[in-house]
Amino acid sequence: MKSTPFTNKHIALGAKMAEFAGYNMPISYTGINDEHAAVRNNAGIFDVSHMGEFILKGGMALDLIQRITSNDASKITDGQAQYSCLPNEQGGIVDDLIVYCIEFNKVYMLVVNASNIEKDWNWISKYNTKGVDMHNISDKTCLLAIQGPNANKILQPLVDTDIMNLKYYTFTKGKFAGVDNVIVSATGYTGSGGVEIYFEDTEGAADKIWDAIFEVGAPQGLQPIGLGARDTLRLEMGYCLYGNDIDDTTSPLEGGLGWITRFTKAFTAREILEKQKAAGVTRKLVGFEMIDRGIPRHDYLIKDALGNTIGKVTSGTQAPSLGKAIGLGYVATGQASIDSEIYIDIRHTLVKAKVVKAPFV
């Protein structure tokens, strides 16, 4: 099991640790509900250094990205980022990712899911037929997400650029807590604002940045946050988790990701997805909230009032911000409209729920 440069910090803070994507990661510190509330109301810091980062360089870097991703990366320029996905040849999803434009048409960084690093690297390499210079920098890159409405205010004294006015899905690169070449990106997985910071752990940079963040943040209530609250936060926003809500068998159109599927360019499985869009999908990923008492869990069956199976739960939890149980799941298109009554099969009991529009908060 791998460690991140911050693993000993988590253990010293009393975190409950567990294996995730091959890494020893903090699941919770003071409790998921408490950590969830800290991010929604103030600020919290996540260690997400297990994520993968690839650098693509050269005059054909954009061409490669355009051919393998569903979104149109030609629309972003220096200092901008874009959410996208890698469609497979059948129209499913190899992974979802963020594309960072470091230097237009020359240098890009792709940020991929931890469990898919090798898979994604091999997939992209397969299509790299025009000599793009590729570097897997995952093992030497640290990634911290400082999220919450007060996150930028807390961090501003540590940064030599203005992050108070950093627009969503843009980034800046400069000095952070005395460390050079740190990317500060207005992205995240919580829906509560804040930034993510990328840097290489050289000359003790990881310890220096972590300690500096807590030196300025602890007096203002900044808390360390585990992966448990990261999951409840993203689910309240209706954000997809790869392996749960989207995977190799789900298309971006079925998964509600039509907005990142651009048919203005050629890309893997474009023709398949165009036909799917024209014909209409037979199932859709929907948000739902429980009406009767019960918590939906991954792989629970979704049924209609007569007990016929119409889909499956992909993610579910008791939402800390709402005081009610919510979930995501695929249902037949005929049952996907808002306010449709559905039933979750919880231990052979049909528990009533209804389709609602995400985000839930």
Banded model confidence at residue 12, pLDDT cuts 50, 70, 90? very high
Q: Residues 343-347: what's their mean pLDDT?
A: 98
Q: How far apart are CA 237 and CA 122, in angstroms?
A: 31
pLDDT, one tens digit per residue, over 308-324 is: 999 999 999 999 999 99
Mean pLDDT of the chain: 98
| C-alpha Rg value of the chain to the nearest Å | 21
pLDDT, one tens digit per residue, over 127-136 is: 999 999 999 9
pLDDT, one tens digit per residue, over 255-286 is: 999 999 999 999 999 999 999 999 999 999 99
pTM for the full predicted model: 0.97
Query: Coil, strand or helix: which one is 171?
Result: strand
Res 295: pLDDT = 98
Write the CB contacts of 157 (distance below 8 Å, at least 6 apart in sequence).
Answer: 216
| Short-list 138, 152, 242, 240, CA closest to 198 | 138
pLDDT, one tens digit per residue, over 195-213 is: 999 999 999 999 999 999 9
| Geometric angle at alpha carbon 133, from 130 and 134, rounded to 5° | 110
pLDDT, one tens digit per residue, over 329-340 is: 999 999 999 999
Res 326: pLDDT = 98
Res 85: pLDDT = 98
pLDDT, one tens digit per residue, over 26-47 is: 999 999 999 999 999 999 999 9
Q: How far apart are CA 192 and CA 149, in angstroms?
A: 6
Banded model confidence at residue 167, pLDDT cuts 50, 70, 90? very high
Q: How far apart are CA 137 and CA 23, in angstroms?
A: 16
pLDDT, one tens digit per residue, over 94-126 is: 999 999 999 999 999 999 999 999 999 999 999
- Render the burial of 310-322: b for 16+ CB within 10 Å, e for the rest: bbbbbbbbbbbbe
Q: What is the DSSP letter of 220?
A: G
Banded model confidence at residue 173, pLDDT cuts 50, 70, 90? very high
